[in-house]
Amino acid sequence: MNREEIKKILPHREPMLLVDEVVLEDGKSHGKYQVRGDEFFLQGHFPGDPVVPGVIQCEMLAQSACVLLIGQTEGTTPLFTGLQNVKFRGQVKPGDLFETQCELVRSRGQFYFAKGSGFVNGKLCVSAEFSFALVKAE
């Protein structure tokens, strides 16, 4: 699915919509985001040698995972409730195609637990376990 289709599932909008396309397959989401270099989060991080901040990489994973809730998110906002076992193994830089692979591990009521990994050119850059809640939008 493309950005317009993703917007029907996620409430995120530019400049915080951080997934360009997602393919759902076998209960997993495979997302892509092309790092252009002009994103707000690269300004000042770091001048002359920009690197996508780790917290943004985690947000990219979470957005990719939330797409798995297609048909369940209307009228809600997905909010992080936890990040565990986050590991950074490589840098993500302007020009990189950041690819994610995420899956939901379990759910309990409005809470969802997931795990995901992010790659550039097949090299693992980040892995994490995380949780979020679908909170009724006001």
Which tens digits make up the pLDDT trace of 72-117?
999 999 999 999 999 999 999 999 999 999 999 999 999 999 999 9
The catalytically annotated residue of 32, 45, 93, 115 is: 45
Q: What are the domain boundaries of the chain?
A: 3-136
Kindly tell me if the per-residue pLDDT of 65 is higher than 90: yes
- Give the pLDDT confidence score for residue 63 in this predicted structure: 97
Is 45 in the active site?
Answer: yes
Predicted model pTM: 0.96
Q: What average pLDDT does the chain have?
A: 97
Fold for the domain defined by 3-136: Thiol Ester Dehydrase; Chain A (3.10.129)
Q: Which residues contact 99 (CB under 8 A, 6 or more apart)?
A: 30, 31, 32, 118, 119, 120
User: How sure is the predictor about 2, in pLDDT bands with cuts at 50, 70 and 90?
Assistant: very high
The Cα–Cα gap between 37 and 8 comes to 26
Q: What is the mean pLDDT of residues 21-28?
A: 97
